[in-house]
């Protein structure tokens, strides 16, 4: 019987977040990718054989698949110079003094507690690769809700796992899904039983801490019939790391009558490549909602999707992207209508500043026989100066006549009239622009839990002042 890996955590963290005590061992994979490293990862985790095989095959697929030729520039990623697995107890040399001043200032301005700052800045070296931040409340346990890190999920619930893992996003789906399937570690595993409504959002912080360390979380969420869950990943504070690759896979199954909301606030430091595949299957009368905020990273490529598999299913994506200097946010959404009477909406708001580039890339697909589909896509882009770039690439593929599909997009600058109005009332230009931007993303902000909304508005203010690292 496998033993749970145990992770050393600081005492205050234990009290604060309810971590379990880790077993202490040290394993650090070599840089780069090879079948040996993949096998080592699987062995370290004491995984069943089918998972080891799946990983090896995924590695093979990853190697065969070409890099995407569309989207953002990925040519600088050096796959051979990345650690594909790093055990949590490995001591890192990073100290608080090494953290850049601008990141520290941002923490100050955001009011992040001291302990969390270190944690977010990668100083608290215990918290790598494994998911350690889970607070699973007692009443949830009683209801039969599972909320584990994915490694534990595989260990403790192998049947559930084997039934669903990789069925929503097969390894061959795309190059980065293959990479994740080969090298995954950490992430969340959630199971909500029939009829159970989880009334508090489940939150997990994911981290990248060590230099050049890839982070390949794997999240699997199963909402059984008529259940509800709201899951929140990420945080508004910038997560500091040096050059790194973050390539997660999130698979969600929303069964008949259930509803799942997945909220992401992504704010990786601006050297991270964030290449994520997120997909949900929504069955009869089910609702899937992606609330997706992308602020940080050098490059993000992320298109949360919903496959509407049975009549009455509903998909919503609400996203914002903010690209500052040197950043490219290539984000969007996909809605695949595979059944009649399904509906979807996509609302995308993007802001480009100081030469940043935001691209909306989306797909609405209606399969033959999926009549009475309704889908509406609205993309608005705000360009804050004349060096910044905005792209819109919406794809509509419609194989059925009894449908209503619409797409609308506008690109504009901050209106002079609005600015003038605010400034004539004694508000500085930066403040006025900040107000306008916050107003622009308000449809997104109002869907966030209050503390996240407040933090996001503050963060936008920092971005607008140009004081964010």
Binding residues for other proteins (CB under 8 A):
61, 70, 167-174, 279, 281, 307, 309, 336, 338, 366-368, 371, 381, 383-413
Smaller CB distance to other proteins: residue 5 or 312? 312
Smaller CB distance to other proteins: residue 177 or 198? 177
Q: Both tokens of residue 354? A: 């100081």
Give the distance, in angstroms, between the CA of residue 466 and the centroid of all CA atoms in the same chain.
24
Smaller CB distance to other proteins: residue 34 or 415? 415
Smaller CB distance to other proteins: residue 105 or 407? 407
Considering the complex, what minimum distance in angstroms separates the CB of residue 402 from other proteins?
6
Q: Where are the beta strands (DSSP E) in 324-388?
A: 328-337, 343-352, 357-366, 373-383
C-alpha angle 226-445-114 in degrees, rounded to nearest 5: 100
Smaller CB distance to other proteins: residue 23 or 163? 163
- Residue 314 contacts by C-beta under 8 Å, 6 or more apart in sequence? 282, 286, 287, 288, 308, 342, 343, 344
Give the distance, in angstroms, between the CA of residue 146 and the centroid of all CA atoms in the same chain.
20
Q: With contact defined as beta carbons under 8 Å apart, do 257 and 225 qualify?
A: yes
Inter-axis angle of helices 101-110 and 114-121, to 10 degrees? 140
Q: With contact defined as beta carbons under 8 Å apart, do 449 and 456 qualify?
A: no
Q: For residues 415 and 458, give the distance between their C-alpha atoms in angstroms, rounded to a whole number.
A: 22
Q: For residues 219 and 212, give the distance between their C-alpha atoms in angstroms, rounded to a whole number.
A: 22
Q: Both tokens of residue 294? A: 């992308």
Smaller CB distance to other proteins: residue 235 or 308? 308
Residue with token string 């040996």: 36
Considering the complex, what minimum distance in angstroms separates the CB of residue 303 from other proteins?
12
Considering the complex, what minimum distance in angstroms separates the CB of residue 419 from other proteins?
13
Q: Both tokens of residue 401? A: 């006549």
Considering the complex, what minimum distance in angstroms separates the CB of residue 403 from other proteins?
6
Q: For residues 205 and 268, give the distance between their C-alpha atoms in angstroms, rounded to a whole number.
A: 12
Considering the complex, what minimum distance in angstroms separates the CB of residue 456 from other proteins?
23
Smaller CB distance to other proteins: residue 130 or 433? 433
Smaller CB distance to other proteins: residue 81 or 167? 167
- Going by their DSSP bridges, the two strands 188-192 and 146-149 should be labelled as antiparallel
Smaller CB distance to other proteins: residue 19 or 62? 62
**Quick one: which H or E segment has residue 277?**
strand 272-282
Q: For residues 230 and 449, give the distance between their C-alpha atoms in angstroms, rounded to a whole number.
A: 11
Considering the complex, what minimum distance in angstroms separates the CB of residue 54 from other proteins?
12
Listed in sequence order, the DSSP H helices in 308-449 are 416-423, 429-440, 442-445
Smaller CB distance to other proteins: residue 167 or 467? 167
Rg of the chain over all Cα atoms, to the nearest angstrom: 22
For the residues of 187-237, what is the DSSP string, one character each?
A: -EEEEE-TT-B--S-EEE-----STTB-B--EEEEEE-TT-EEEEEEE-SS
Q: Both tokens of residue 89? A: 């107890």
Smaller CB distance to other proteins: residue 128 or 173? 173
């Amino acid at each position: 019987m496998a033993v749970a890996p145990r992770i050393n955590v600081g005492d205050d963290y234990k009290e604060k977040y309810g971590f379990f005590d880790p077993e202490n061992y040290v394993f650090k994979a070599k840089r780069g990718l090879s079948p040996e490293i993949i096998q080592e990862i699987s062995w370290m985790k004491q995984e069943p054989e089918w998972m080891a095989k799946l990983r090896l095959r995924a590695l093979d697929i990853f190697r065969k698949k070409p890099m995407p030729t569309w989207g953002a520039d990925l040519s600088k990623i050096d796959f051979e110079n990345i650690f594909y697995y790093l055990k949590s107890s490995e001591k890192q040399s990073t100290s608080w003094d090494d953290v850049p001043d601008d990141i520290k200032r941002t923490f100050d301005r955001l009011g992040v507690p001291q302990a969390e700052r270190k944690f977010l800045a990668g100083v608290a070296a215990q918290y790598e690769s494994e998911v350690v931040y889970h607070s699973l409340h007692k009443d949830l346990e009683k209801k039969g809700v599972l909320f584990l890190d994915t490694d534990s999920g595989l260990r403790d619930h192998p049947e559930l796992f084997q039934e669903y893992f990789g069925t929503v996003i097969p390894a061959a789906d795309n190059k980065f899904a293959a990479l994740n399937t080969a090298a995954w570690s950490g992430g969340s595993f959630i199971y909500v039983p029939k009829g159970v409504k989880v009334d508090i959002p489940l939150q997990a912080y994911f981290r990248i801490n060590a230099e050049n360390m890839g982070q390949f979380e794997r999240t699997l969420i199963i909402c059984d019939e008529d259940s509800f869950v709201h899951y929140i990943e990420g945080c508004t504070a910038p997560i500091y790391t040096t050059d790194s690759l973050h390539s997660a896979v999130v698979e969600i199954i929303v069964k008949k009558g259930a509803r799942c909301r997945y909220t992401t606030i992504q704010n990786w430091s601006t050297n991270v490549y964030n290449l994520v595949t997120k997909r949900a299957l929504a069955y009869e009368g089910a609702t899937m909602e992606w609330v997706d905020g992308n602020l940080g990273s050098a490059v993000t490529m992320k298109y949360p999707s919903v496959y509407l598999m049975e009549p009455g299913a509903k998909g919503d994506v609400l996203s914002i992207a903010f690209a500052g200097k040197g950043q490219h946010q290539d984000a969007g959404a996909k809605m695949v209508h595979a059944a009649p009477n399904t509906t979807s909406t996509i609302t995308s708001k993007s802001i480009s500043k100081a030469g940043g580039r935001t691209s909306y890339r989306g797909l609405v697909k209606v399969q033959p026989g999926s009549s009475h589909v309704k889908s509406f896509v609205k993309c608005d882009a705000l360009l804050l100066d004349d060096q910044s770039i905005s792209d819109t690439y919406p794809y509509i593929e419609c194989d059925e006549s009894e449908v209503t599909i619409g797409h609308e997009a506008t690109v504009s600058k901050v209106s002079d009239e609005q600015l003038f109005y605010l400034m004539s009332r004694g508000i500085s230009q930066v403040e006025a622009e900040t107000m306008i931007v916050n107003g622009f993303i308000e449809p997104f902000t109002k869907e966030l839990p209050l503390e996240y909304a407040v933090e996001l508005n503050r963060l936008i203010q920092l971005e607008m002042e140009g004081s964010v690292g």
